[in-house]
Structure formats: structure tokens, C-alpha cells
Amino acid sequence: MRYGWHGVLVGVAGWGLLPCAVQAQAAGAPVRPGMVDAQALSAADTGWMLTATALVLLMTLPGVALFYAGMVRRKNVLNTMASVVAIAALVSVLWFAAGYSLAFTPDTAWLGGFARMGFDGLQFDLAAGRVAVSHVAPHIPESVYAMFQLTFAIITAALVVGAFVERIRFAPMLVFIGLWSLLVYAPIAHWVWEPGGWLARMGALDFAGGAVVHVNAGAAGLACAWYLGPRRGYGREAFEPYNLGFTMAGAALLWVGWFGFNAGSALAADGRAGLAMAVTHIAAAAGALAWMLGEAVLRGKPSLLGLCSGLVAGLVAITPAAGFVTPRAALAIGAVAGLACYWGATALKRLLGADDSLDVFGVHGVGGIVGSLLTGVFASRTVGGVEGNVLTQALSVGAVLAFSLAASLVLLWMVDFALGLRVDEEGEAAGLDLSQHRERVGG
Amino acid sequence: MNDSDRLAIAAHLHVLLRRRTGRVTDTEWMAANADYAQEIIRFARQRAQQDDAPELAEWAAKLERATAEALAEASARKPLLERREAPAPRYVGGIR
């Protein structure tokens, strides 16, 4: 859930889960996108949201691209980067065409309407001094809100790449991701973030995407890993990462960009955004230290990859909680997530038996689940105006996990049936850089 | 134990084996290669029992000790990365 407007509109929906005071505020709030006087907008909020949008895009380009490319073998580095760049472009066009409308316009509790397809109605009339706004963020231009949300759609799809690297054909992968973005991501974003969505109305708290982004991407990643099967030689040969320095640079960009992700999800340049930034940083630090300690105790040596993974785990877990918890709670959430994701990327991974190559489920899935549940534990009425409910959070996470897993498997089957997903043996042995792009890393 | 001591033990065993069993061995290789030394030690012990030749068993034991010491010294001289005890497989079945 984002910003006070969500809470306001949840109250309007009449579920009675929010306090009367909040419901009373809802009286004059818009319930659908529309045009307002440009003077009614907040310049400060708009400026911050423009900045936050750029920060979140930076997380993917080049953050996720570097983070993942550093971990694959030398022969698959360019394919991994190309996948992230192509996904960013593809999801952008699809978001413009339909994704934004399906996710963020009011219609049913399951899916939005078609009113904003092709960004229809995202107008700015200079002469009349009128501008379109979303009912979710009526104090900033809707163009900014749609772009901010676009960067979330991009990174969610890009995160899935980590599960299927080194063995999937490029073009069918894009077809799968395109369908997934429209048929899995957009509906889930609607359920949780559009005030009429069924999980939003139920009172599920997801400030910046613990369930929508991370549990969703983790579940889809697990589905991909299961469906595609392991890479040839998996479990028998050592898959040396190309350059963990790339991974560190990517992780650092993720850490910085996450300020836009979480503090931007306040949708305003205000005290809540400031607190969201603080808790984000504290959780990242706690996650890095917890993973490092876990690794040092169990393996005797802390690794750079462990530190990078731990900080991401902390960031993932604080994502649903950022606008609802205090800095002390953030420390606990980050530390628990660091250890839980270390378990997720090692012991749980062995248990699941899937070649989730770069641990999308182990880090994002597990981190998202931990963060979402702990949001139910630690959410403070003083910070976010609402209190958490662990059962509601568990239901929300379970619904997202189940839908994403099942729908992803269906889409994978469809694309595989139509186009074939897996590269042939020769192409996999030669590496996807050569077999899919006729390029290779120099030097 | 230095190389020449180990070579002297190997030479002694070489002479004994030649004399008692007729087997010809490579003295220098016995002092240098642990696998070859192990095989000669096994053979010397077997013949010591068969032929009731306790001196063969005695020199086989000396060569065994010398070989074990040489292996320990070589291990101590290895670079840090190669000296790990039972190194855990890295990047097999997972990157983390």
C-alpha cells in the first residue's frame, strides 16, 4: 500500500478495516483518474517523484544488469545484459500500451480497465492550465506517476532473468516476459496497489512492492527454473562467475536506487518519505552484516557475494514495510532477512531442487515473504496510520505466490509449445553470447 | 628428513629387494614419488611375510615414514589457497 491515499480509498471501499478518522478524510478524494487544475499539484512532490523515477530505473539499467552479469559464466555475460536491456524496452512499450491501464485504473477487484491504454488521457493542457492526475496520487501529474510505476514493472520483470540465465532462447524469453508483464504483473499490481484491488481492500500492506515486486518475481523465477530444468553440468561442474566486481557495482546501484524505490513510494517529499529512506538504509546494512556473519560462522569466510546478497536481502525485506515501520524495526527486519535469505539461497535451494541460477527465489522470494510478514508484526500506527495484521499479510503473500507460480508455469508452457524455450545443447555449450547474439566479451 | 636421507633409504630397500626377491626397482623414483613408494612398500611387506624376511618389513616401514614426512613438508610449502583442508567445492550446484 502506498501513501495515505491508499488508506483513504480503502476506507471508502467500506471494509471497515481502517479507523473512522481515515474514512472521514476520504470524502473529497478522487476515485478515478481525471483532469485537475495544474496549480493544485505539488511542485516539491512532483520534483521528488521525477528524481525517484530516475533512481528506480537506475536500479535496472545498469544495476540489475551488472548484478546478474557478474555472476554468470564468461560466455553468457552479454546475453544476461542484453536480456535486461531488452526487457526494459519491451515492458516500457507494453506498459504504455496496456499495462498501466490494467494495473492502475479502477474497474473490477481483479483487473483494471482500459481507459488509459496507450496512455490515453495522460494530458497536459498548457493553455487551459489543466493536467491529468491519477486518483492514487492526485498531487502529481499522472504522467509522472505512470512513469514511476513503469520503472517498477521493468525491474520486476528484469529480476526474473536471474532464474533462467545461461539456457533460454532470447526471442521466446521476450515473448514470455511480455505476456508475464501484462497477465501476471499488472493484475497483481492492481490487486495490491489500486485502491479497488481485492488485496488493497482487505487491508494488505505493501508499501513499495514486497509482494507485488519481490514475491512475484521470486515465484516466477522458481517457475522458470523448474520448467526449464537445470543448466547442463549443474551440480557437477563449477560455474565460475565472470566478475563479482560487476556484481558489487550492481548491488551498490541497487542500494542507492532503492531510496527512489521506497522513499519514492511515499509519493510525496514529506516526513514519511524521509523515514522510508532511513529504514531502507538501515535494513540494507543489517542484511549485509547478518548474511556476512552467517557465512563466517557456517563457512569460515565472509564473501563479497554474500555481503552484496545480504544487502539486497535487507532491501527486499524492508520494501513492503518502508512506510509503516520505525528504524529499530528496520534493523530487525534487515537482520532476519539477511539470515533467512542466506538459508533461502543455500539450504532451501537444495531442498527445492531447482536450478534457480542466481537465487531469485532464495533472495527476492524469501526476502519478500519475510518482509511482508514482518510488516504485519512491526507496522506502527504512528508512522503509517495503520496497524499490521500478520494473517492478512500471509494471505496476501500466499495469493501472490500461488498466482504468480501457476500463471507463470502456464505461460511458460504456452511459449514453449509455440516457440521452444530452451537453447540446444551446442548453443548452451558455446555460450549464449555467441549462440544468441554472435557477440562475445573481449579481452 | 632431507632428500638424500630418503634416497639412502630407497637405495637400501632397492638392494634388499634385488637380493631377496629378484625384483628390480627405480631408486630415485621411489624417493620422489609417493604412489610408487607405496606400491614398493606394499610389495616389500608382502614378501617379508612370505619369505620370513623381517629386514624387508623394517626398511619398508622406514621408507613409509620418510614418504609421509616428505608429503607433510610439501603440503606445508603449498600456497594458502591449496593448503585448505578438504576444500569445499565452490560454485558447484549454486553460486552462494
Percent of chain A having pLDDT more than 70? 93
Chain A residues within an 8 Å CB radius of B95: 71, 239, 241, 305, 357-359
| Contacts with A301 (C-beta within 8 Å, 6 or more apart), sequence order | A295
Beta-strand (E) ranges in A98-257? Answer: 124-125, 130-133
Residue A35 falls inside a structural domain: no
Chain A residues within an 8 Å CB radius of B90: 238
Confidence of residue A7 (pLDDT cuts 50, 70, 90): very low
Whether the predicted pLDDT of A6 surpasses 80: no
- Rounded distance between C-alpha atoms, residue A190 and residue A196, angstroms: 8
Residue A15 falls inside a structural domain: no
Per-residue pLDDT tens digits for B23-80: 999 998 999 889 999 999 999 999 999 999 999 999 999 999 999 988 888 877 766 6
Q: Are A51 and A260 in contact (CB under 8 A)?
A: yes
Whether the predicted pLDDT of A5 surpasses 50: no
Average pLDDT over residues A340-353: 97
- Nearest chain B residue to A232 by CA distance is B93
Whether the predicted pLDDT of B93 surpasses 50: yes
- Judge: A238–B95 Cβ closer than 8 Å, yes or no: no
> What are the two backbone dihedrals, phi and then psi, of residue A15, each rounded to the nearest 5 degrees?
-80, -10
- Rounded distance between C-alpha atoms, residue A239 and residue B94, angstroms: 8
Residue B79 falls inside a structural domain: no
Residue A243 falls inside a structural domain: yes
- Rounded distance between C-alpha atoms, residue A326 and residue A333, angstroms: 10
- Residue B70 half-sphere exposure toward CB, CA atoms < 13 A: 20
Residue A409 falls inside a structural domain: yes
Domain that holds residue A316: 58-108+147-437
> According to the 3-state scheme, what is the secondary structure of A413-439?
HHHHHHHCCECCHHHHHHCHHHHHHCC
**pLDDT for residue A442:** 80
Residue A130 falls inside a structural domain: no
Residue B32 falls inside a structural domain: yes
| Contacts with A15 (C-beta within 8 Å, 6 or more apart), sequence order | A201, A202, A203
Residue B37 falls inside a structural domain: yes
- Rounded distance between C-alpha atoms, residue A279 and residue A378, angstroms: 12
- Judge: B93–A235 Cβ closer than 8 Å, yes or no: yes
Q: Which of B91, B92, B94 sits opposite A346 (nearest CB)?
A: B94
**pLDDT for residue B72:** 86
Average pLDDT over residues A287-295: 98
Per-residue pLDDT tens digits for A41-69: 999 999 999 999 999 999 999 999 999 99
- Rounded distance between C-alpha atoms, residue A424 and residue A176, angstroms: 18
Q: Does A357 touch chain B (CB under 8 A)?
A: yes
Minimum distance, in Å, between the CA of residue A294 and any CA atom of chain B: 12
Average pLDDT over residues A244-256: 98
Residue A415 falls inside a structural domain: yes
> What are the two backbone dihedrals, phi and then psi, of residue A65, each rounded to the nearest 5 degrees?
-60, -45
Residue B96 falls inside a structural domain: no
Confidence of residue B17 (pLDDT cuts 50, 70, 90): very high
Number of domains in chain B: 1
Q: Compute the mean pLDDT over every residue in chain B, rounded to the nearest whole number.
A: 87
Residue B63 falls inside a structural domain: yes
**pLDDT for residue B89:** 75
**pLDDT for residue A167:** 98
Average pLDDT over residues A284-309: 97
User: Any idea what the CATH number is for the domain that residue A408 is in?
Assistant: 1.10.3430.10
Dihedral sign for Cα A257, A259, A262, A266, please. negative
Q: How many CB atoms lie within 10 A of CB B11?
A: 15
Per-residue pLDDT tens digits for A67-110: 999 999 999 999 999 999 999 999 999 999 999 999 999 999 99
Domain that holds residue B67: 3-71
Percent of chain A having pLDDT more than 90? 92
Rg (C-alpha) for chain A, rounded Å, is 21
Whether the predicted pLDDT of A19 surpasses 80: no
Minimum distance, in Å, between the CA of residue B87 and any CA atom of chain A: 11
Classify B76 as helix, strand or coil.
helix
**pLDDT for residue A30:** 77
Q: Which of A236, A240, A359 sits opposite B96 (nearest CB)?
A: A359
Confidence of residue A25 (pLDDT cuts 50, 70, 90): very low
Classify A410 as helix, strand or coil.
helix
- Rounded distance between C-alpha atoms, residue A345 and residue A364, angstroms: 10
- Enter the pTM of the model: 0.81
- Judge: B96–A345 Cβ closer than 8 Å, yes or no: yes
Number of domains in chain A: 1
Residue B40 falls inside a structural domain: yes
Residue B81 falls inside a structural domain: no
Q: How far separated are the first and last CA of chain A, in Å rounded? A: 47
Whether the predicted pLDDT of A379 surpasses 50: yes
- Judge: B95–A239 Cβ closer than 8 Å, yes or no: yes
Residue A2 falls inside a structural domain: no
- Which ipTM was obtained for this model? 0.79
Determine the distance from the C-alpha atom of residue A140 to the mean position of all C-alpha atoms in its chain, rounded to a whole number. 22
Q: Are A133 and A141 in contact (CB under 8 A)?
A: yes
